[in-house]
């Protein structure tokens, strides 16, 4: 990134604030970005020769967070803030808050960071010295409010990013925008924030009805309808048609639609993106429904590999665990011993990286593999 003006000659500061409630109140898997952000040099984040890093991962106390923000805001050089988390609405005061690790709906006023505090601290900085990247999910009430009133932003700060709608019951979104941002910055690239924001949006495949913050979308308002997950494109959404074809037994037709959607995602956003990997997972599910565990297992292993090695998701990320768990389940269904032996090394390698929540999952694979190896070739 590049900062114009004399400020770029001074040491910079990068503030990473990643927060989300624990338990059922979590709307976003915010913590999954910590490993990829940690791999980015603070100087690259700040766009300066040297920089100080302030990292707040799942902080508990809003007053302590305010103190760290205040310290970062007091720095003289360029300041880059990366903010990942979820917005919740204080019903009594109608004020938006950033949820922290202990935040619940009933304790919001005491355990979350008022958005106005963040804006107030950054607003005091000299114009042109602050860049703010946000990757946020709003709860239902905050989302409705944003549909009527734009989120207050710090004047003088360049603000980029996305605010996604609530993901639906018992679902969490992935901070795809920040993952994309970090992947670009890990190369050491120092492009301007406008170009970086644009490239991150393209790579992350943000849904059209998310609120996009940036020079091209200064106050885009979302429609009131509930949206699909933030990493799935909504243009010509074929999910319902694919499900109907699959349930009716038209497996080839369903797979053809999924492949077409995957090709569009690859052409628009790239092969190794959240948008594209989603459709590979759809095909893995379709193979399972069509009673083809060999193909399903292979596809789930492929998606897990992409999520771990390309998208840089942590092994305990729910999407990664799900991919490996489903690959394991489909492998157990394979009846052809030769096919099972062929997929076993990759599954073992994945299980070593992603042990999951099932106890002794790796041992179960090894025991079955010993039985398979004792059988004559199929």
Look at residue 4 in the predicted model and tell me its pLDDT.
45
Residue 374 tokens, joined: 């004792």
Return the structure tokens found at 25. Answer: 């109140």
Spell out, as residue ranges, where the chain has pLDDT lower than 50.
2-7, 217-235
Which residue reads 């505090």 in tokens? Answer: 117
CA dihedral 366, 369, 373, 378 (to 10 degrees): -170
With H, G, I as helix, E, B as strand and everything else as coil, classify residue 339: helix
Q: Which pLDDT does position 210 carry in this prediction?
A: 78
Average pLDDT, the chain: 82
Cβ atoms 276, 289 nearer than 8 A = no
- Buried-exposed string 247-268: b where 16+ CB fall within 10 A, e elsewhere: eeeebeebbebbeebbebbeee
Contact 115, 151 (CB under 8 A): yes
**Tokens at 67, concatenated:** 């103190």
Cα(17)–Cα(58) distance, integer angstroms: 8
Q: At what angle do helices 318-333 and 293-305 cross, to 10 degrees?
A: 150
Q: What is the pLDDT of residue 376?
A: 65
Per-residue pLDDT at 298: 95
Which long-range CB contacts under 8 A does 304-310 form with residues at least 24 apart?
A: 304/350, 304/354, 305/350, 306/272, 306/277, 306/280, 307/277, 308/353, 308/354, 310/272
Q: Among 114, 154, 115, which Cα is nearest to 132's?
A: 154
pLDDT tens for 81-133 read 999 999 999 877 788 999 998 988 888 888 999 999 999 999 888 888 899 99
pLDDT reported for residue 232 = 38
| Contact of 356 with 324, CB cutoff 8 Å | yes
DSSP state of 9: G
pLDDT in tens, 29-54: 888 888 888 888 888 888 888 888 88
pLDDT of residue 205: 65
């Amino acid at each position: 990134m590049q900062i114009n003006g004399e400020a770029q000659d001074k040491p910079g500061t990068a503030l990473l604030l990643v927060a989300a409630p624990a338990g059922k109140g979590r709307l976003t898997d915010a913590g999954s970005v910590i490993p990829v952000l940690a791999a980015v040099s603070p100087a690259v984040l700040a766009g300066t020769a040297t920089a100080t890093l302030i990292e707040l991962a799942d902080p508990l106390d809003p007053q302590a967070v305010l103190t760290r923000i205040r310290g970062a805001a007091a720095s003289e050089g360029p300041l880059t803030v990366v903010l990942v988390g979820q917005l919740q609405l204080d019903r009594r005061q109608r004020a938006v808050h950033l949820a922290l690790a202990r935040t619940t709906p009933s304790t919001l006023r005491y355990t979350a960071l008022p958005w106005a505090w963040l804006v107030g601290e950054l607003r005091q900085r000299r114009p042109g010295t602050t860049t703010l990247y946000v990757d946020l999910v709003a709860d239902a009430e905050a989302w409705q409010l944003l549909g009527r009133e734009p989120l207050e932003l710090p004047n003088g700060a360049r603000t980029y990013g996305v605010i996604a709608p609530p993901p639906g019951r018992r679902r969490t979104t992935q901070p795809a925008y920040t993952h994309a941002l970090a992947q670009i910055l890990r190369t050491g690239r120092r492009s301007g924030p406008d170009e970086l924001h644009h490239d991150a949006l393209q790579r992350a495949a943000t849904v059209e009805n998310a609120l996009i913050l940036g020079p091209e979308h200064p106050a885009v308002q979302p429609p009131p309808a509930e949206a699909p997950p933030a990493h799935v494109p909504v243009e010509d959404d074929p999910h319902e048609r694919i499900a109907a074809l699959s349930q009716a037994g038209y497996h080839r037709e369903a797979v053809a639609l999924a492949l077409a959607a995957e090709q569009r995602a690859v052409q628009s956003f790239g092969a190794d993106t959240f948008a594209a990997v989603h459709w590979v997972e759809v095909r893995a599910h379709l193979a399972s429904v069509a009673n083809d565990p060999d193909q399903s297992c292979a596809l789930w292993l492929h998606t897990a590999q992409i999520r771990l090695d390309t998208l840089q998701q942590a092994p305990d990320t729910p999407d990664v665990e799900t991919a490996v768990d489903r690959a394991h389940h489909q492998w157990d269904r394979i009846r052809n011993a030769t096919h099972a032996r062929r997929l076993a090394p990759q599954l073992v390698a994945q299980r070593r990286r992603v042990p999951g929540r099932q106890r002794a999952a790796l041992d179960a694979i090894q025991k079955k593999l010993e039985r398979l190896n004792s059988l004559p070739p199929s």
